[in-house]
Amino acid sequence: MARAEFLLGAFCVLIMVSFDHAQGADGIDGIGVNWGNIASHPLDPHIVVNMLKDNKIKKLKLFDADSWTVSALAGTGIEVMLGIPNDQLKRFANDYGDCKDWVKENVTKHIYDGGVNIRYVAVGNEPFLKAYNGSNLKTTFPAVKNIQKALDEAGHGDKIKVTVPLNADVYESGSDKPSDGRFRKDTEDIMIQMVKFFNDNKSPFVVNIYPFLSLFQNPDFPKDFAFFDGAGKPIQDRNLQYTNVFDANHDTLVWALKRAGVPNLKITVGEVGWPTDGDKNANPELAQKFYSGFLKRMVAKKGTPLRPGPMDVYLFGLLDEDMKSVAPGHFERHWGIFRYDGQPKFHLDFTGQGRAVMPVGAKGVQYQDKKWCVFNKDIKNLSLVPKEIAYACAQSDCTSLGYGCSCQNLDMLGNVSYAFNMYFQMNDQSVEACHFNGLAKIVTDNATKGECLFPIQIVSSGEMLKVMIKGSAFLVGLFLSFITIM
Ligand SMILES: *[C@@H]1O[C@H](CO)[C@@H](O)[C@H](O)[C@H]1NC(C)=O
Ligand SMILES: *[C@@H]1O[C@H](CO)[C@@H](O)[C@H](O)[C@H]1NC(C)=O
Ligand SMILES: *[C@@H]1O[C@H](CO)[C@@H](O)[C@H](O)[C@H]1NC(C)=O
Ligand SMILES: *[C@@H]1O[C@H](CO)[C@@H](O)[C@H](O)[C@H]1NC(C)=O
Ligand SMILES: *[C@@H]1O[C@H](CO)[C@@H](O)[C@H](O)[C@H]1NC(C)=O
């Protein structure tokens, strides 16, 4: 090759390399996302997988092992954590044969050249949550050992490790200091055995940490301490200073692990994030503030005071889920970085350059017609409104109504229209779903009012989960109808 050509070639390579770098082609090391699917209209897994690739997301945590979803990940190289739901723990604790079948059908099937990069199996999801009253205490650890044994026996054990995503309420500190951290009394015996197993097995400890919930659950919680700007009044713990609740919480776990005799067990954050609706502190502005502070630390490989360095985390979550239980609060259905239709809500730079850019939205999403169902203003007799709004909200999702939420400024009839439209969209815009005893009508003008989006539902590709309307949705409906009549 002539010298000039060589130089030109080298120059091009140089440009390509720096271009790649500018695009942050590698994404952020250690960043994954949770992909939950408790939605009335799940997106096509192939669309979601392309969205993950577009955003350079290289790790994924699932809550089950749905074959359609997992298959869509084949050939992508994305690291996958499969999930086993809590209601299966008893079965896997008691029946090793079932564990072998699970591994065969949900793991081995996907392992081939160009298959799925499965790395972890999450056995249960926050099974020791206080609210479960100890109901999974006896079954979780036996299920963990059985599943790992079945993985080992099938020849996957070196690469695929079991773990248990635990809520941060599994440990506590008697004071506000991380150094007083230890496992919660009622779980301590089992936790000590389990973390030793994880340590010997080279499994990570997976913990879900929610600064938002600290704020939600305690009205006196100092708001600055939920974020990463260092504006909060620091907590002094021995020779270390804590300026945010994430670090303090994480390092409380580090101390609990020390006391349990496994000071070097790897910690992975299984869920961390901020919701955008359903509470006065849940909105896109605060979510953006939280994520941008968090990602900056990830890029800098800052870690926490006791565990400086790179960290492994899964953000919660990828998409909104309109059928999640709202028992913990209305914000539960609004954890998505992306909306139900895969469109981004706020600035978040997955390339790690901290730019004010939107993540890349889902492509090729098919929407239903531009039709909305609203209250018919010709109607003067409103006596049936409370009953109909209660029905609509019980069967759909009205969690954006209410104090501090995106639709809080609607007037009474705006509330009614919102509820009617949510029900209409949930039911795929069927004409019967816009009747409400003659109170409603279908319109083709965008019914959106200011901040309050009146959505058009997508054409669902998933199994219709809508038959499984949860009891809790019914209660919300009643609650909303109650405050609406007032
Ligand atoms: C495989 O996983 C799916 C989805 O989580 C589950 O429904 C199915 O029962 C599992 N298969 C076996 C054999 O346990
Ligand atoms: C736990 O106990 C509380 C209070 O006794 C009860 O209201 C709740 O339903 C129980 N939860 C479960 C999952 O058993
Ligand atoms: C309003 O509608 C209700 C229910 O259909 C009916 O019982 C009531 O008589 C009506 N009121 C008036 C003033 O027409
Ligand atoms: C609309 O509904 C919200 C939430 O239920 C409630 O706070 C508000 O007061 C309602 N507005 C009117 C005018 O009824
Ligand atoms: C309705 O209007 C809102 C606000 O301008 C907009 O965001 C939304 O995309 C519109 N919906 C449709 C289906 O055009």
Using alpha carbons, select from 331, 321, 411 the residue that is nearest to residue 374.
411
Please tell me the distance from the alpha carbon of residue 225 to that of residue 144, in angstroms, as a whole number: 35
* Centroid of ligand 4 to alpha carbon of 329 (angstroms): 18
Secondary element (H or E) of residue 480: helix 471-485
Pairing of strands 181-183, 171-173: antiparallel
Is 105 near ligand 1, meaning CB less than 6 Å away? yes
Residue 126 bears catalytic tag = yes
Q: What is the pLDDT of residue 6?
A: 44
In this predicted structure, the answer to whether residue 208 has a pLDDT above a threshold of 60 is yes
Q: 7: pLDDT confidence band, cut at 50, 70 and 90?
A: very low
Query: pLDDT (tens digit, 9 = 90+) per residue, 391-447?
Result: 999 999 999 999 999 999 999 999 999 999 999 999 999 999 999 999 999 999 999
Q: What is the pLDDT of residue 9?
A: 46
Q: 473: pLDDT confidence band, cut at 50, 70 and 90?
A: very low
Q: What is the pLDDT of residue 53?
A: 98
* Centroid of ligand 5 to alpha carbon of 456 (angstroms): 9
The answer to whether the beta carbons of residues 232 and 225 sit under 8 Å apart is: yes
Which range is least confidently modeled, 162-171, 296-305, 456-465?
456-465
Secondary element (H or E) of residue 96: helix 96-106
> Whose alpha carbon is nearest atom 7 of ligand 2?
131
Is 176 near ligand 1, meaning CB less than 6 Å away? no
What are the structural domains, with CATH classification, of the chain? 28-334 (3.20.20.80), 372-461 (no CATH)
Closest ligand to residue 132's CA: 2
Q: 462: pLDDT confidence band, cut at 50, 70 and 90?
A: low
Instruction: Write down the H helix ranges in 136-283.
Output: 140-153, 188-201, 211-217, 245-259
Using alpha carbons, select from 239, 355, 231 the residue that is nearest to residue 288.
355
Q: Which residue has the higher pLDDT, 422 or 26?
A: 422
In this predicted structure, the answer to whether residue 479 has a pLDDT above a threshold of 80 is no
In this predicted structure, the answer to whether residue 86 has a pLDDT above a threshold of 90 is yes
Q: What is the pLDDT of residue 254?
A: 98
Q: What is the mean pLDDT of residues 272-297?
A: 98
Using CB atoms within 10 Å of the CB of residue 76, give its burial: 0 to 12 exposed, 13 to 18 middle, 19+ buried. middle
Annotated catalytic residue within 5, 126, 172, 188:
126
Using CB atoms within 10 Å of the CB of residue 259, give its burial: 0 to 12 exposed, 13 to 18 middle, 19+ buried. middle
Using alpha carbons, select from 19, 20, 31, 16 the residue that is nearest to residue 359.
31
Q: Which tokens go with 305?
A: 């005071």
pTM: 0.90
Q: For residue 292, give Cα distances in angstroms to 151, 350, 412, 447.
A: 38, 10, 37, 33
In this predicted structure, the answer to whether residue 475 has a pLDDT above a threshold of 80 is no
| Probe residue for ligand 5, chosen from 372, 446, 456, 457 as the CB with the greatest number of ligand atoms within 8 Å | 446
